[in-house]
Amino acid sequence: MLCNLIVWCGRRAKQDESLVKRIKVLLIMAKAQVLYDFTAEPGNKELSVREGETITLLDQTVGGGWIQVQNSSGQSGLVPEGYLQVVGDIIDSWSGAEAFTHTQQAAQDDGEWDDEWDQQSEGGYHVDGNGEEEGGASDRSTHTSSMKISLNKFSFAKGPSPEVFLLAQPLANRERLPVYMGEVGPVWLYPATPLHCVVADPKKESKLYGLKSFIEYQITPTTTSRPVNHRYKHFDWLYERLLEKFGSMVPIPPLPDKQVTGRFADDFIRMRMEQLQVWMTRMCRHPVVSLSDVFQFFLTYRDEKEWKAGKRKAERDEMVGPMIFSLIEPAAPELEPGDVEHICEQYSHFTKAMEDGIRELLNVGHTHWKRCTGPLPKEYQRIGRAFQTLSTVFSSSRYPGEDTLTDAMIAAGQTYEEIAQMVTQQPQKDLHFLMETNSEYRGLLGALPPITALHKAAGEKVKEAERLVCAGKINHTEKLSMKQRLSSMSYTLQAEMNHFHSNRIYDYNRVMQLYLQEQADFYQQIADKLRGALRQFTTL
Amino acid sequence: MLCNLIVWCGRRAKQDESLVKRIKVLLIMAKAQVLYDFTAEPGNKELSVREGETITLLDQTVGGGWIQVQNSSGQSGLVPEGYLQVVGDIIDSWSGAEAFTHTQQAAQDDGEWDDEWDQQSEGGYHVDGNGEEEGGASDRSTHTSSMKISLNKFSFAKGPSPEVFLLAQPLANRERLPVYMGEVGPVWLYPATPLHCVVADPKKESKLYGLKSFIEYQITPTTTSRPVNHRYKHFDWLYERLLEKFGSMVPIPPLPDKQVTGRFADDFIRMRMEQLQVWMTRMCRHPVVSLSDVFQFFLTYRDEKEWKAGKRKAERDEMVGPMIFSLIEPAAPELEPGDVEHICEQYSHFTKAMEDGIRELLNVGHTHWKRCTGPLPKEYQRIGRAFQTLSTVFSSSRYPGEDTLTDAMIAAGQTYEEIAQMVTQQPQKDLHFLMETNSEYRGLLGALPPITALHKAAGEKVKEAERLVCAGKINHTEKLSMKQRLSSMSYTLQAEMNHFHSNRIYDYNRVMQLYLQEQADFYQQIADKLRGALRQFTTL
């Protein structure tokens, strides 16, 4: 069992195609159980689901960490894949490792599964079999396979399984991820110069003589100042790699966008670019993620050959899932399991409370946005027009001395029309960043429950350790080792939460200031405009 | 016929009671035809009706110039009485003068009809027959009778009948209403010192040992500085007198309030007092109305005896309806009927256009008011609370250095709650006056169509004059007299419209300045508040 769990991460094999297709169908129509409550963000095509609910998986190829599902009432929508556990009887009818090898192969044989991602198949044309020139077989398979893998992480038990790390053999000499005791408690080691990168210059590219087109973004890291080009599907590949490798300890936020239609509209491209920038910035700010081989490779590969080789290498990485904790070496005394449990509970509680707070802010922000871009400016416009209409009527009176009043009323009317325009444009200037930042944190928080669940499960395993010793399943040394490893996990969690908190304080301080500044400027501008209109009237 | 028309204004007679009751029922349930389009103001219990529509009169005792009607679809609501013409076959089955004498008597015999106006009948108690101590018989009859009279003005022809004046005998020496040629054209003679009065100090009074209670307002004119007390029903009596006497040439706006329930709530009393002040101020500003005997009497009567005598005298005034034009002596050359028609058309067009403009402004104002006191502040409050909730969550993190952020977020949240409060209160500070002024002008404009219709009808009569001469119905001198009287009417209309325009320019100039100033202050305060909240955050 443990063996299987480790094995599936790297294996590749050729298999009977008809068998593969059967599995694919089974997996596509699979049922899944919901692991955590998820509340849909309005207007975002998401579906609210409750812990324990059984749902049908409609489309696992949506990407960005999202899956299209249908609930028992027939409502469908998107749910984060980390919140789902594929129901046992479908997966269990195949031995784990084999089943996943099969599905990876299935994806390899089906180019269009992958390509429908960010390419437009014009005129109903579909590329078949091996017709893809970019990235080769491994490239074509990545999305589908990694999607299955990340689902699979939670498919053998409720939540991820910590045994893989707790009972693993000590590692040979490899890279280490240091956790230090800082002023605020356990902290990661931060690089002296923070990494940053700029996502810019989206270009529509095409291949297969124009039959397929896609958008390529230019990403320039501060380290090399040399731009690399990436399509959305490459970001998604990176997301899957980071989720697989670091998802047990670092909340990897989903890629911010999952829109499939209208991909070539300028507004959409600008928005997606902005969101990719936000996502990349978040990853750059993480000391472990930003320094990782796969992330550096994504930012610095030199040509297609290097890209293909690097991809294959990253996909073969065995230091993924809970095994990542093997790299942790906390410079601190070992924690008692009780303390670990307590710390974990506290983070879970915080995560849940912040999720609730953000959900409410996003809800009211969404409502407010709709009002500010809909009925409110329409009213200001109508007020402005009503003033102007009255002014026109007045000027028809032929009564001498109307002019000062009618001119002033026209000006007042125009002022309200301008205010209407300002009101419509304002959310883009302030509410937008407030919403984006909170959406991003919602994504980060959404990636935390599997992490705390893993810690909780590890804690429970360690509690069982005594019984396992008695039953002769592990020896005393292994029990002590488990306890020490649990302590390492907990330091990691604390370092990660401290990273989260310091970033959060910085981000919320920044976004609140930006919001308040923009709002103050907005109201000041309206006040100034109204005073300008007022001056047009004769003093009484 | 002409004789009857003049006669009904003053006569009083005792009649068979059963006959009287039959007439009353006929009149109460009477059908009426709509003379002019009327569009209901939203939220005001009014009913939109179209010219030519036949409606049922449900309640003529509503007061303030309003009648409760039902249309053919069964919808009911209030319509200004000046817009209705009681359908001929009910009135015509009785000789005009007699019918109205009957109905006046009917009202005299029914004290509670009158009293249910602004008195509360506590515990279902009703005063019967002659039990009323205040104002005596003529007081008790006034409302019902005058309501019938003002309806009757338009019941013998479509619109008021101008013959009463055009063919009247020249008057013996009496008071005159001069119309001068001013810079802007024909104008009234304005008094050197404008009259003003203050409506204040509403007191709940009662009579019949507390079984009936009412509100008495104190009205103090600048001329005497001596306050007089009046109940709402006295204002209504004054309204009816002014409408009867000047309604053919001066737009008498309806009394602003027609609410019957909740009459003793403080808010309602304050609002009614404010609206009575607005109405009295408007009447004081009119040079003809303010100087009239009835208006002066209302403001200066000394005791109950003088009140009763003055009321009877005013009710016996024969110089009412179109006869008022006999008092006009324009100091200007006689106008040709074609010019009269043209001037009249122009005013009608202006009136209609301004009514439309005001209706739109009132509609959007009403919508905006609802938003500003409903969903909009609720949203600001929710935004404020969401910030505070997040702040509370943040402060639970136990991460060092949260305080500056959480304190600032609390302050920002409270600021948005304060903004919510400001938004809710703002309409009362600015939109209120904009709406009140426009509602008042809507009332004034609503009283203009009968005036222009009277002029139009007079113009048509004068056109017919040649034929009447040929038919031997009038002689040549009478024809010339009719033409001269039409010219006087037209000068009156012009003087009145010039009065309207100069007041309008003043009023709109004032209300627009007040609105813009309050709005500018409001937005400035919000901007300042937001800057205050912003300063709480640490500078990045």
Cβ-defined contact of B390 to A357 (cutoff 8 Å): yes
- CA A256 and chain centroid, separation: 5
Judged by a CB distance cut-off of 8 A, whether residue B537 touches chain A is: yes
Dihedral angle over CA of B146, B150, B156, B161, nearest 10: 120
Query: Judged by CB atoms within 8 Å, which residues 281-340 of B form the interface with A?
Result: none
Cβ-defined contact of B537 to A509 (cutoff 8 Å): yes
Flag whether pLDDT at A130 surpasses 80.
no
Which residues of chain B make contact with A397, given a CB cutoff of 8 A? 350, 501
For chain B, count helices (H), then strands (E). 18, 12
- Residue A197 tokens read as 């990168």
Mean pLDDT to the nearest integer, B325-343:
88
Under a CB-based contact definition with an 8 Å cutoff, are residues A115 and A157 in contact?
no
Confidence bin at A533 (pLDDT 50/70/90): very high
Burial class (CB in 10 A: 0-12, 13-18, 19+), B31: middle
Residue B424 to chain A, least CA–CA distance (Å): 15
What would the pLDDT profile of A352-362 be if each residue is shown by its tens digit? Answer: 999 999 999 99
Confidence bin at B126 (pLDDT 50/70/90): very low
What pLDDT is attached to residue B26?
A: 41
B319 vs B121: which has the higher pLDDT: B319
Residue B45 to chain A, least CA–CA distance (Å): 23
Residue A281 to chain B, least CA–CA distance (Å): 18
Residue B173 to chain A, least CA–CA distance (Å): 35
User: What is the C-alpha separation between B36 and B84, in angstroms, rounded?
Assistant: 8
What pLDDT is attached to residue A186?
A: 94
Residue B184 to chain A, least CA–CA distance (Å): 6
Fill in the DSSP letter of residue A431.
Answer: H
SS (H, E, C) B320-353: CHHHHHHHEEECCCCCCHHHHHHHHHHHHHHHHH
Which residues of chain B make contact with A498, given a CB cutoff of 8 A? 399
Structural domain boundaries of chain A? 2-154, 186-330, 341-534
Confidence bin at B398 (pLDDT 50/70/90): confident
The beta-carbon neighbor of B501 closest among A353, A399, A502 is A399
Cβ-defined contact of A365 to B383 (cutoff 8 Å): yes
Confidence bin at B144 (pLDDT 50/70/90): very low
Confidence bin at B46 (pLDDT 50/70/90): confident
User: What is the C-alpha separation between B458 and B481, in angstroms, rounded?
Assistant: 13
Least confident of A286-290, A341-345, B105-109: B105-109
User: What is the C-alpha separation between A337 and A488, in angstroms, rounded?
Assistant: 11
The beta-carbon neighbor of A505 closest among B361, B401, B504 is B401
Flag whether pLDDT at A267 surpasses 70.
yes
Cβ-defined contact of A505 to B398 (cutoff 8 Å): no
Judged by a CB distance cut-off of 8 A, whether residue B346 touches chain A is: yes
Which residues of chain A make contact with B523, given a CB cutoff of 8 A? 523-524, 526-527, 530
Residue B502, CA atoms < 13 Å, CB-side half-sphere: 16
Fill in the DSSP letter of residue A82.
Answer: G
- State which residue of chain A sits closest to B353, comparing Cα positions: A393
Cβ-defined contact of B357 to A389 (cutoff 8 Å): yes
What pLDDT is attached to residue A121?
A: 31
Judged by a CB distance cut-off of 8 A, whether residue A412 touches chain B is: yes
What pLDDT is attached to residue A21?
A: 46
Judged by a CB distance cut-off of 8 A, whether residue B508 touches chain A is: yes
Cβ-defined contact of A400 to B364 (cutoff 8 Å): no
pTM: 0.74
What would the pLDDT profile of B243-290 be if each residue is shown by its tens digit? Answer: 999 999 999 999 866 555 555 678 888 888 999 999 999 999 999 999
ipTM score here?
0.75
Angle at B231 between CA B227 and CA B237, to 5 degrees: 105
Cβ-defined contact of A364 to B383 (cutoff 8 Å): yes
Name the CATH superfamily, with its identifier, for domain A2-154: SH3 Domains (2.30.30.40)
Under a CB-based contact definition with an 8 Å cutoff, are residues A62 and A69 in contact?
no
Least confident of A99-108, A475-484, B379-388, B527-536: A99-108
Least confident of A407-416, A449-458, B78-87, B517-526: B78-87
Confidence bin at A278 (pLDDT 50/70/90): very high
Least confident of A29-33, B49-53, B448-452: A29-33
What pLDDT is attached to residue A264?
A: 65
Judged by a CB distance cut-off of 8 A, whether residue B527 touches chain A is: yes
- CA A152 and chain centroid, separation: 19
E-strand spans in A367-489? none
The beta-carbon neighbor of A367 closest among B379, B521, B524 is B379
User: What is the C-alpha separation between A512 and B489, in angstroms, rounded?
Assistant: 68
Query: Judged by CB atoms within 8 Å, which residues 155-184 of B form the interface with A?
Result: 183-184
CA distances A264 to A113, A203, A274, A511, B407, Å, are: 20, 10, 15, 29, 44
Judged by a CB distance cut-off of 8 A, whether residue B403 touches chain A is: no
What pLDDT is attached to residue B139?
A: 35
Give the mutation candidate from B346, B390, B426 for the A interface (greatest A CB count, under 10 A): B390
- State which residue of chain A sits closest to B186, comparing Cα positions: A399
What pLDDT is attached to residue A29?
A: 58
Which residues of chain A make contact with B357, given a CB cutoff of 8 A? 386, 389-390, 392-393
Mean pLDDT to the nearest integer, A139-156:
32
Mean pLDDT to the nearest integer, A394-401:
90
Question: DSSP letter string over B357-387?
Answer: HHHHHHHHHHHHHHHHHTHHHHHHHHHHHHH
What CATH number was assigned to the domain covering residues A186-330? 3.30.1520.10
Identify the top-confidence range among B154-163, B405-414, B461-470: B405-414
Flag whether pLDDT at B159 surpasses 50.
no
- State which residue of chain B sits closest to A369, comparing Cα positions: B379
Angle at B471 between CA B470 and CA B475, to 5 degrees: 65
Cβ-defined contact of A505 to B402 (cutoff 8 Å): yes
Query: Judged by CB atoms within 8 Å, which residues 180-209 of B form the interface with A?
Result: 183-184
Under a CB-based contact definition with an 8 Å cutoff, are residues A221 and A195 in contact?
yes
Consecutive H or E run containing A128: none
Judged by a CB distance cut-off of 8 A, whether residue B408 touches chain A is: yes
What would the pLDDT profile of A2-11 be if each residue is shown by its tens digit? Answer: 333 333 333 3
Mean pLDDT to the nearest integer, B367-396:
95
- Over chain B, what is the mean pLDDT? 79
Cβ-defined contact of B383 to A367 (cutoff 8 Å): no
Judged by a CB distance cut-off of 8 A, whether residue B378 touches chain A is: no
What pLDDT is attached to residue A172?
A: 60
Cβ-defined contact of A527 to B524 (cutoff 8 Å): yes
Which residues of chain B make contact with A522, given a CB cutoff of 8 A? 527
Confidence bin at A40 (pLDDT 50/70/90): confident
Cβ-defined contact of B184 to A530 (cutoff 8 Å): no
Name the CATH superfamily, with its identifier, for domain B341-534: Arfaptin homology (AH) domain/BAR domain (1.20.1270.60)
Residue A417 to chain B, least CA–CA distance (Å): 14
Judged by a CB distance cut-off of 8 A, whether residue A367 touches chain B is: yes
User: What is the C-alpha separation between A402 and A399, in angstroms, rounded?
Assistant: 6
Judged by a CB distance cut-off of 8 A, whether residue B383 touches chain A is: yes
Under a CB-based contact definition with an 8 Å cutoff, are residues B144 and B106 in contact?
yes
Read off the amino acid at residue A509.
Answer: N
φ/ψ (deg, to 5) at A162 = -85, -10
What pLDDT is attached to residue B295?
A: 97
Which residues of chain A make contact with B507, given a CB cutoff of 8 A? none
The beta-carbon neighbor of B364 closest among A386, A523, A538 is A386
Residue B278 to chain A, least CA–CA distance (Å): 19
Residue A342 to chain B, least CA–CA distance (Å): 13
Burial class (CB in 10 A: 0-12, 13-18, 19+), A496: buried
What would the pLDDT profile of A225-257 be if each residue is shown by its tens digit? Answer: 999 999 999 999 999 999 999 999 999 999 866
